Amino acid sequence: TMINYLKGKLVSKVDDSPTGCNVTVEVNNIGYLLLTSRRTNSLLPPEGQEATVYTSLIHREDTMYLCGFNTHEDRDLFNILNGVSGIGTKTALAIMGEMGAYNLVNAVISGDVKAISKTKGIGNKLAQKIILELKEKLTKWRERVSLNTHDTVDEDGVEVTEGWLEAETVLLSLGYTKKEASVSLKKAVAVAANKNDAEELLRKALQSLAGGEG
């Protein structure tokens, strides 16, 4: 797409408009409306702060609109999903909102129909079609972007979940170093109720970075 990402003030985050989730990002006095998912909204900074949102421009016969994602991996996966016949923009957004790049690639490569069909509106048949059409493509894509889609551990043996990776992406976008992000996330994982909840990990990591414990 011609717009790779938008970086500017996050004016608004809406989770429940009639057209679904969206955000507005102001860049050079222009407010761009982007269709998103609850997951993307929860991982973006609070309203009023600067945000980087990766975009995909959707061009239909009578309309054009932008979809927004908090990582370029999510955006790229959305574009790949959108190319599968039988999957429209809303369905592709719903899948990315439910799973994220890490879990989706894992599910497709391992043939996990159940994981993919958890998304509302995706039955077993469509999940099987996604696996059939995308398995080879996503295997190559994973090798190219070296997206770590296995439950991995960092050098200290701490398990790195998708929640960790998403929280780390946000911390890096806020200007923290990789080391600061890693140290604070280790503390967060140690006390988090759900070690794969990016929001909780991010909140606890930011508390730790701000000098508070917890």
Contact (CB, 8 A) for 72 and 172: no
Q: Quote the CA–CA distance of 191 and 204 in Å, as a whole number.
A: 8
Between 108 and 59, name the one with better pLDDT.
108
Decide which of 131 and 213 is more confident: 131
> Tell me, what's the pLDDT at 69?
94
- Please write the tens of the pLDDT for every residue from 150-169: 444 444 445 567 788 888 88
Residue 14: its pLDDT value, please? 94
Per-residue pLDDT band at 64 (split at 50, 70, 90): confident
Extract long-range pairs of 105-114: CB within 8 Å, 24+ residues apart. Answer: 105/77, 105/138, 105/141, 105/142, 105/147, 105/149, 106/149, 106/150, 107/131, 108/134, 108/135, 108/138, 109/135, 109/138, 109/139, 109/142, 109/149, 111/135
Cα(29)–Cα(9) distance, integer angstroms: 10
Q: Considering only CA atoms, which of 5, 67, 63 is closest in space to residue 36? A: 67
pTM here is 0.67
pLDDT of residue 159: 57
Flag whether pLDDT at 48 surpasses 70.
yes
- Answer whether residue 212 shows pLDDT above 70: no
pLDDT of res. 7:
92
**Which pLDDT score is estimated for 193?**
79
pLDDT of residue 153: 42
Do residues 168 and 152 lie in contact, with contact meaning Cβ atoms separated by under 8 Å?
no
Region 10-33: what's the mean pLDDT? 92
Mean pLDDT of 70-90: 89
CA dist 164 and 103 (Å) reads: 13
The percentage of residues in the chain with a pLDDT greater than 70, rounded to a whole number, is 90
Domains and CATH numbers, the chain: 5-69 (2.40.50.140), 74-145 (1.10.150.20), 152-209 (1.10.8)
Contact 56, 30 (CB under 8 A): no
Cα–Cα nearest to 107, from 121, 94, 97, 117: 117
72 pLDDT band, cuts 50/70/90, is: confident
Task: Please check the confidence at residue 47 and state whether its pLDDT lies above 90.
Answer: yes
β 152-153/20-27 pair status: unpaired
DSSP code string of 9-20: EEEEEEEEETTE
- Report the alpha-carbon distance of residue 194 to residue 189 in Å, rounded: 8
E-state strands within 110-203: 152-153, 159-160
Region of poorest pLDDT, from 43-57, 106-120, 147-161 = 147-161
Residues with Cβ within 8 Å of 212's Cβ and at least 6 positions away in sequence, in order, are: none
Tell me the C-alpha distance between 79 and 64, whole Å: 15
